[in-house]
Structure 1
């Protein structure tokens, strides 16, 4: 079984960020990822930023002619 568990390597130690789903002695392989940001600040979302930029036709919800035989 292959399982991925996130962790942080710092000062010669690996600290796991979650509990692995194993109960017994298990071989592991550690892969170091480069250039990742561990804590990215969340940006605030702006509601209605695309208001007025997307236009839908008045008959958007009407059945399509191509599917009349299936209805």
Structure 2
């Protein structure tokens, strides 16, 4: 089983944000992610920019002929 858990390395210790899902001895891989000091704020996308670009078929809610045997 492979599980990813967020943690912080501080003063020589790894501090987990949640409890690992196993109580037995396990191999672990630790990857250090570099944190940039300058994080750019996310720009908000203006609402309605995709309006009119997505089309829904007129028969979208109709039953599918291929599935009639299962219904």
How high is the TM-score relative to the length of structure 2? 0.51
Q: CA RMSD in A?
A: 3.6
Which residue in the other structure is 1:23 paired with?
23
Following TM superposition, where does structure 1 have runs of at least 4 consecutive aligned residues deviating by more than 4 angstroms?
none
Which residue in the other structure is 1:54 paired with?
51
How high is the TM-score relative to the length of structure 1? 0.51
Q: Which runs of 5+ in 1 are unaligned?
A: 64-69
- Structure having greater relative contact order (Cα 8 Å, sep ≥ 6): 1
Aligned residue pairs, count = 57
CA deviations on 1:5-51 (whole Å, 9 max, x unpaired) are: 110011211100111110112222211111368xxx8x7x79x8217
